[in-house]
Chains A and B, each alone.
Chain A
Amino acid sequence: MRAVVIAIGVWVASSLAVAAQVQGVELDTPEPIPEFSLSDQDGQTFTPDDLEGNWTVIMFGFNSCPDVCPFTLGNLEHAISETAMRVRPDNVPNVVFVSVDPDRDAEVVSDYALYFHPEFLGVTGARDQIDTLVEATDSFYRLMPPDSNGYYEVQHSSAVSVIDPEGNLRAKLQPPFDAGLTAEFLARLQIAYRREKS
Protein backbone atom coordinates (compact mmCIF):
# COMPACT_ATOMS: atom_id res chain seq x y z
CA MET A 1 0.00 0.00 0.00
CA ARG A 2 1.36 3.38 -0.89
CA ALA A 3 1.78 5.99 1.78
CA VAL A 4 -0.91 8.18 0.31
CA VAL A 5 -3.53 5.53 0.85
CA ILE A 6 -2.32 4.63 4.29
CA ALA A 7 -2.79 8.27 5.16
CA ILE A 8 -6.46 8.25 4.33
CA GLY A 9 -9.05 8.16 7.05
CA VAL A 10 -11.90 5.74 7.42
CA TRP A 11 -15.02 7.53 6.28
CA VAL A 12 -16.84 7.80 9.53
CA ALA A 13 -15.96 11.30 10.68
CA SER A 14 -19.05 13.10 11.88
CA SER A 15 -21.47 11.26 9.66
CA LEU A 16 -24.36 9.03 10.59
CA ALA A 17 -23.74 5.99 12.74
CA VAL A 18 -24.71 3.64 9.91
CA ALA A 19 -21.93 5.06 7.79
CA ALA A 20 -19.44 3.42 10.11
CA GLN A 21 -20.47 0.09 8.60
CA VAL A 22 -19.36 1.13 5.13
CA GLN A 23 -15.88 -0.10 4.49
CA GLY A 24 -15.03 2.91 2.42
CA VAL A 25 -12.07 5.19 2.64
CA GLU A 26 -11.61 8.59 1.09
CA LEU A 27 -8.20 9.78 0.05
CA ASP A 28 -6.94 12.87 1.83
CA THR A 29 -5.43 13.99 -1.47
CA PRO A 30 -7.04 12.72 -4.68
CA GLU A 31 -4.56 10.99 -6.97
CA PRO A 32 -4.68 11.64 -10.72
CA ILE A 33 -5.00 8.58 -12.95
CA PRO A 34 -2.17 8.54 -15.50
CA GLU A 35 -2.46 7.73 -19.20
CA PHE A 36 -3.58 4.17 -19.99
CA SER A 37 -5.49 2.50 -22.77
CA LEU A 38 -7.67 -0.57 -22.43
CA SER A 39 -10.44 -1.80 -24.68
CA ASP A 40 -13.62 -3.81 -24.69
CA GLN A 41 -14.07 -7.02 -26.67
CA ASP A 42 -15.07 -5.04 -29.76
CA GLY A 43 -11.98 -2.85 -29.66
CA GLN A 44 -13.65 0.26 -28.23
CA THR A 45 -11.02 1.97 -26.14
CA PHE A 46 -11.29 2.94 -22.50
CA THR A 47 -8.83 5.69 -21.56
CA PRO A 48 -8.58 8.57 -19.05
CA ASP A 49 -10.76 10.58 -21.47
CA ASP A 50 -13.63 8.28 -20.51
CA LEU A 51 -13.18 9.24 -16.87
CA GLU A 52 -13.71 12.95 -17.55
CA GLY A 53 -17.09 14.39 -16.70
CA ASN A 54 -18.56 11.44 -14.84
CA TRP A 55 -18.01 9.36 -11.75
CA THR A 56 -16.48 5.95 -12.34
CA VAL A 57 -16.21 2.83 -10.21
CA ILE A 58 -13.44 0.45 -11.30
CA MET A 59 -13.28 -3.19 -10.25
CA PHE A 60 -10.50 -5.63 -11.08
CA GLY A 61 -11.24 -9.32 -11.59
CA PHE A 62 -11.31 -12.10 -14.14
CA ASN A 63 -14.03 -14.04 -15.90
CA SER A 64 -13.01 -17.47 -14.60
CA CYS A 65 -13.90 -16.34 -11.09
CA PRO A 66 -17.30 -17.92 -10.50
CA ASP A 67 -17.61 -17.31 -6.77
CA VAL A 68 -16.44 -13.85 -5.66
CA CYS A 69 -16.54 -11.77 -8.88
CA PRO A 70 -20.22 -12.43 -9.73
CA PHE A 71 -21.13 -11.78 -6.11
CA THR A 72 -19.24 -8.48 -6.19
CA LEU A 73 -20.67 -7.40 -9.54
CA GLY A 74 -24.17 -8.34 -8.43
CA ASN A 75 -23.78 -6.32 -5.25
CA LEU A 76 -22.34 -3.41 -7.21
CA GLU A 77 -25.37 -3.51 -9.49
CA HIS A 78 -27.64 -3.21 -6.46
CA ALA A 79 -25.47 -0.45 -5.00
CA ILE A 80 -25.43 1.58 -8.22
CA SER A 81 -29.20 1.21 -8.61
CA GLU A 82 -29.57 2.51 -5.08
CA THR A 83 -27.17 5.36 -5.83
CA ALA A 84 -29.25 6.28 -8.88
CA MET A 85 -32.13 7.06 -6.53
CA ARG A 86 -30.00 9.50 -4.53
CA VAL A 87 -27.96 11.44 -7.07
CA ARG A 88 -28.60 13.29 -10.32
CA PRO A 89 -28.72 10.98 -13.35
CA ASP A 90 -25.48 12.41 -14.70
CA ASN A 91 -23.77 11.63 -11.38
CA VAL A 92 -24.61 7.92 -11.37
CA PRO A 93 -21.20 6.25 -11.55
CA ASN A 94 -20.13 4.24 -14.56
CA VAL A 95 -19.02 0.78 -13.48
CA VAL A 96 -15.99 -0.64 -15.26
CA PHE A 97 -14.91 -4.26 -14.82
CA VAL A 98 -11.23 -4.59 -15.71
CA SER A 99 -10.11 -8.16 -16.36
CA VAL A 100 -6.50 -8.74 -15.32
CA ASP A 101 -6.59 -11.99 -17.33
CA PRO A 102 -6.62 -10.81 -20.97
CA ASP A 103 -5.35 -14.11 -22.36
CA ARG A 104 -8.57 -15.86 -21.36
CA ASP A 105 -10.98 -12.93 -21.27
CA ALA A 106 -10.24 -10.51 -24.12
CA GLU A 107 -12.95 -11.85 -26.40
CA VAL A 108 -15.73 -12.05 -23.82
CA VAL A 109 -14.93 -9.42 -21.19
CA SER A 110 -17.71 -7.04 -22.24
CA ASP A 111 -20.39 -9.74 -22.37
CA TYR A 112 -19.39 -10.77 -18.88
CA ALA A 113 -19.88 -7.27 -17.44
CA LEU A 114 -23.06 -6.63 -19.41
CA TYR A 115 -24.66 -9.68 -17.86
CA PHE A 116 -24.77 -7.86 -14.53
CA HIS A 117 -26.05 -4.52 -15.84
CA PRO A 118 -26.71 -3.28 -19.37
CA GLU A 119 -24.43 -0.29 -18.82
CA PHE A 120 -21.53 -2.00 -17.07
CA LEU A 121 -18.36 -1.81 -19.17
CA GLY A 122 -15.93 -4.72 -19.40
CA VAL A 123 -12.39 -4.03 -20.61
CA THR A 124 -8.93 -5.50 -20.61
CA GLY A 125 -5.75 -4.95 -22.58
CA ALA A 126 -2.00 -5.18 -22.73
CA ARG A 127 -0.28 -6.18 -19.53
CA ASP A 128 1.55 -2.87 -19.09
CA GLN A 129 -1.69 -0.93 -19.53
CA ILE A 130 -3.48 -3.07 -16.96
CA ASP A 131 -0.55 -2.65 -14.62
CA THR A 132 -0.64 1.14 -15.01
CA LEU A 133 -4.26 1.28 -13.90
CA VAL A 134 -3.70 -1.30 -11.14
CA GLU A 135 -0.83 0.74 -9.72
CA ALA A 136 -2.64 4.06 -10.09
CA THR A 137 -5.57 2.75 -8.06
CA ASP A 138 -3.35 1.15 -5.44
CA SER A 139 -4.73 -2.23 -6.45
CA PHE A 140 -3.13 -5.65 -6.79
CA TYR A 141 -3.32 -8.84 -8.79
CA ARG A 142 -1.20 -11.91 -9.36
CA LEU A 143 -1.48 -14.73 -11.91
CA MET A 144 -0.60 -17.99 -10.20
CA PRO A 145 1.47 -20.74 -11.87
CA PRO A 146 -0.62 -23.03 -14.11
CA ASP A 147 -1.40 -26.61 -13.08
CA SER A 148 -0.84 -29.66 -15.26
CA ASN A 149 -4.02 -28.82 -17.21
CA GLY A 150 -2.86 -25.29 -17.88
CA TYR A 151 -5.43 -23.87 -15.49
CA TYR A 152 -4.28 -21.01 -13.30
CA GLU A 153 -5.78 -19.04 -10.46
CA VAL A 154 -5.79 -15.27 -10.28
CA GLN A 155 -5.53 -13.31 -7.07
CA HIS A 156 -6.79 -9.75 -7.11
CA SER A 157 -7.81 -6.84 -4.93
CA SER A 158 -11.33 -7.09 -3.63
CA ALA A 159 -11.72 -3.32 -3.22
CA VAL A 160 -13.16 -1.10 -5.94
CA SER A 161 -11.85 2.35 -6.84
CA VAL A 162 -13.97 5.47 -7.10
CA ILE A 163 -12.76 8.01 -9.68
CA ASP A 164 -14.08 11.57 -9.71
CA PRO A 165 -15.18 13.48 -12.85
CA GLU A 166 -11.72 15.01 -13.19
CA GLY A 167 -10.09 11.60 -13.42
CA ASN A 168 -8.71 11.48 -9.88
CA LEU A 169 -8.79 8.45 -7.59
CA ARG A 170 -10.89 9.75 -4.73
CA ALA A 171 -11.98 6.72 -2.66
CA LYS A 172 -11.78 2.96 -2.25
CA LEU A 173 -14.63 0.70 -1.20
CA GLN A 174 -14.32 -2.77 0.29
CA PRO A 175 -16.90 -5.53 -0.19
CA PRO A 176 -19.58 -6.59 0.46
CA PHE A 177 -20.92 -3.30 -0.98
CA ASP A 178 -24.17 -3.10 0.94
CA ALA A 179 -26.46 -1.28 -1.48
CA GLY A 180 -27.86 1.38 0.86
CA LEU A 181 -24.62 2.14 2.66
CA THR A 182 -22.58 2.22 -0.53
CA ALA A 183 -25.11 4.61 -2.11
CA GLU A 184 -24.93 6.81 0.97
CA PHE A 185 -21.14 6.82 0.82
CA LEU A 186 -21.09 7.72 -2.88
CA ALA A 187 -23.73 10.43 -2.48
CA ARG A 188 -21.81 12.04 0.39
CA LEU A 189 -18.55 11.75 -1.52
CA GLN A 190 -20.16 13.66 -4.37
CA ILE A 191 -21.49 16.35 -2.03
CA ALA A 192 -18.01 16.78 -0.55
CA TYR A 193 -16.55 16.99 -4.06
CA ARG A 194 -19.02 19.67 -5.15
CA ARG A 195 -18.34 21.69 -2.00
CA GLU A 196 -14.64 21.47 -2.70
CA LYS A 197 -15.16 22.72 -6.24
CA SER A 198 -17.59 25.52 -5.39
Chain B
Amino acid sequence: MMFRPIVCAAMLIPLPALAESVTVVDAWVPMAPPTAMAHVAYITLQNDGTEPRVLTGVNADGYAMSHLHESRETEGVATMTMLHQIEIPPGSILMMKTGGLHIMLMRPEAPIAEGDLITLSLTFANDETVTVDAPVKARDAES
Protein backbone atom coordinates (compact mmCIF):
# COMPACT_ATOMS: atom_id res chain seq x y z
CA MET B 1 0.00 0.00 0.00
CA MET B 2 2.91 2.31 0.66
CA PHE B 3 3.84 2.08 -3.01
CA ARG B 4 0.48 2.89 -4.41
CA PRO B 5 0.57 6.73 -4.45
CA ILE B 6 3.98 6.64 -6.10
CA VAL B 7 2.80 4.27 -8.79
CA CYS B 8 -0.26 6.40 -9.48
CA ALA B 9 1.87 9.52 -9.78
CA ALA B 10 4.14 7.79 -12.25
CA MET B 11 1.16 6.80 -14.35
CA LEU B 12 0.18 10.44 -14.71
CA ILE B 13 3.44 11.32 -16.40
CA PRO B 14 2.87 11.15 -20.17
CA LEU B 15 5.26 8.66 -21.65
CA PRO B 16 6.23 8.73 -25.32
CA ALA B 17 5.22 5.74 -27.39
CA LEU B 18 8.22 3.47 -27.67
CA ALA B 19 9.29 0.84 -30.16
CA GLU B 20 12.68 -0.08 -28.87
CA SER B 21 14.74 2.90 -29.96
CA VAL B 22 12.08 4.77 -31.94
CA THR B 23 10.07 7.42 -30.15
CA VAL B 24 7.02 9.29 -31.39
CA VAL B 25 7.81 12.77 -30.13
CA ASP B 26 4.86 14.50 -31.79
CA ALA B 27 1.68 13.57 -33.62
CA TRP B 28 -1.28 15.70 -34.67
CA VAL B 29 -4.11 15.92 -37.15
CA PRO B 30 -5.11 19.37 -38.46
CA MET B 31 -8.79 20.26 -38.57
CA ALA B 32 -10.35 19.70 -41.97
CA PRO B 33 -13.55 20.71 -43.76
CA PRO B 34 -16.45 18.55 -42.54
CA THR B 35 -16.97 17.13 -46.03
CA ALA B 36 -13.30 16.35 -46.68
CA MET B 37 -12.85 12.80 -47.83
CA ALA B 38 -9.24 12.71 -46.71
CA HIS B 39 -7.48 14.00 -43.64
CA VAL B 40 -3.80 14.21 -42.84
CA ALA B 41 -1.64 13.35 -39.85
CA TYR B 42 1.83 14.62 -39.14
CA ILE B 43 4.15 12.74 -36.83
CA THR B 44 7.72 13.24 -35.65
CA LEU B 45 9.79 10.13 -35.01
CA GLN B 46 13.13 10.01 -33.28
CA ASN B 47 15.52 7.10 -33.73
CA ASP B 48 17.94 7.03 -30.84
CA GLY B 49 19.22 3.59 -31.71
CA THR B 50 22.21 2.45 -33.69
CA GLU B 51 20.26 0.76 -36.46
CA PRO B 52 18.07 2.31 -39.16
CA ARG B 53 14.35 1.93 -38.58
CA VAL B 54 11.91 1.66 -41.43
CA LEU B 55 8.30 2.80 -41.17
CA THR B 56 6.33 0.59 -43.54
CA GLY B 57 2.71 1.42 -42.90
CA VAL B 58 0.07 3.03 -40.76
CA ASN B 59 -3.43 2.18 -39.71
CA ALA B 60 -5.79 4.80 -38.32
CA ASP B 61 -8.92 4.09 -36.32
CA GLY B 62 -11.98 5.57 -38.00
CA TYR B 63 -10.61 5.60 -41.54
CA ALA B 64 -11.03 3.17 -44.42
CA MET B 65 -7.38 3.45 -45.47
CA SER B 66 -4.19 5.20 -44.48
CA HIS B 67 -1.10 5.72 -46.60
CA LEU B 68 2.36 7.11 -46.15
CA HIS B 69 2.55 10.01 -48.57
CA GLU B 70 4.89 12.66 -49.80
CA SER B 71 3.84 15.98 -51.33
CA ARG B 72 6.22 17.64 -53.71
CA GLU B 73 6.20 20.66 -55.90
CA THR B 74 8.06 20.25 -59.15
CA GLU B 75 8.15 23.06 -61.68
CA GLY B 76 5.00 24.60 -60.28
CA VAL B 77 3.01 21.37 -60.12
CA ALA B 78 1.93 19.93 -56.78
CA THR B 79 2.08 16.16 -56.64
CA MET B 80 1.44 13.50 -54.04
CA THR B 81 3.12 10.12 -54.07
CA MET B 82 2.34 7.08 -51.98
CA LEU B 83 5.41 5.70 -50.23
CA HIS B 84 5.86 2.07 -49.24
CA GLN B 85 8.44 2.83 -46.59
CA ILE B 86 10.26 5.67 -44.89
CA GLU B 87 13.66 5.03 -43.37
CA ILE B 88 14.74 6.79 -40.19
CA PRO B 89 18.53 6.57 -39.96
CA PRO B 90 20.08 6.00 -36.53
CA GLY B 91 20.46 9.17 -34.50
CA SER B 92 18.02 11.12 -36.66
CA ILE B 93 14.61 12.72 -36.38
CA LEU B 94 11.94 12.34 -39.05
CA MET B 95 9.56 15.29 -38.95
CA MET B 96 6.49 15.18 -41.16
CA LYS B 97 5.05 18.54 -42.16
CA THR B 98 2.93 20.34 -44.72
CA GLY B 99 4.28 20.07 -48.23
CA GLY B 100 6.40 17.02 -47.49
CA LEU B 101 6.04 13.66 -45.80
CA HIS B 102 2.65 13.04 -44.24
CA ILE B 103 0.14 10.33 -43.39
CA MET B 104 -2.94 10.44 -45.59
CA LEU B 105 -6.08 9.32 -43.77
CA MET B 106 -8.74 8.36 -46.29
CA ARG B 107 -12.52 8.08 -46.10
CA PRO B 108 -13.21 9.13 -42.52
CA GLU B 109 -16.15 7.45 -40.86
CA ALA B 110 -17.17 10.79 -39.31
CA PRO B 111 -16.09 14.45 -39.37
CA ILE B 112 -13.38 15.38 -36.90
CA ALA B 113 -13.48 18.05 -34.21
CA GLU B 114 -10.75 19.85 -32.31
CA GLY B 115 -9.70 17.81 -29.32
CA ASP B 116 -10.54 14.44 -30.89
CA LEU B 117 -7.83 11.82 -30.61
CA ILE B 118 -7.02 9.77 -33.72
CA THR B 119 -5.31 6.51 -32.85
CA LEU B 120 -2.50 5.74 -35.28
CA SER B 121 -0.80 2.35 -35.39
CA LEU B 122 2.60 2.64 -37.00
CA THR B 123 4.13 -0.51 -38.42
CA PHE B 124 7.86 -0.94 -38.79
CA ALA B 125 9.88 -3.29 -40.96
CA ASN B 126 10.71 -5.48 -37.97
CA ASP B 127 6.94 -6.09 -37.57
CA GLU B 128 6.82 -3.93 -34.50
CA THR B 129 3.80 -1.70 -34.08
CA VAL B 130 3.75 1.60 -32.23
CA THR B 131 0.44 3.17 -31.29
CA VAL B 132 0.00 6.87 -30.68
CA ASP B 133 -3.03 9.10 -30.15
CA ALA B 134 -2.81 12.14 -32.41
CA PRO B 135 -4.89 15.09 -31.22
CA VAL B 136 -6.94 17.09 -33.72
CA LYS B 137 -5.86 20.74 -33.64
CA ALA B 138 -6.52 23.91 -35.59
CA ARG B 139 -4.17 24.08 -38.56
CA ASP B 140 -2.77 27.37 -37.27
CA ALA B 141 -1.70 25.53 -34.12
CA GLU B 142 0.82 23.58 -36.16
CA SER B 143 3.33 22.16 -33.74
B99 and A66 form a contact (CB under 8 A): no
B137 CB contacts on chain A under 8 angstroms: none
A108 CB contacts on chain B under 8 angstroms: 35, 37
B77 and A66 form a contact (CB under 8 A): no
B77 CB contacts on chain A under 8 angstroms: 140, 155-158
A-binding segment of B3-11, B14-22, B68-76, B120-128: B68-76
Provide the bound-state CA to CA distance between A112 and B82, in Å: 23
Selected from A67, A112, A157, the residue in CB contact (under 8 A) with B40 is: A67
The chain B residue sitting closest to A107, CB to CB, is: B35
Q: A131 → chain B, closest Cβ, in Å?
A: 16
Selected from B35, B99, B104, the residue in CB contact (under 8 A) with A71 is: B99
A115 CB contacts on chain B under 8 angstroms: 32-34
Chain A 108-139: CB-based contact to B (< 8 A → 1; otherwise 0):
10011011100000000000000000000000
Chain B 31-75: CB-based contact to A (< 8 A → 1; otherwise 0):
011111111100000000000000000000000010001010100
Provide the bound-state CA to CA distance between A73 and B35, in Å: 15
B104 and A158 form a contact (CB under 8 A): no
Say yes or no for B135: interface residue by CB 8 A criterion.
Answer: no
Query: Chain A: residues with CB nearer than 8 A to chain B?
Result: 63-68, 70-71, 74, 104, 108, 111-112, 114-116, 140, 147, 149, 151, 153-159, 174-175
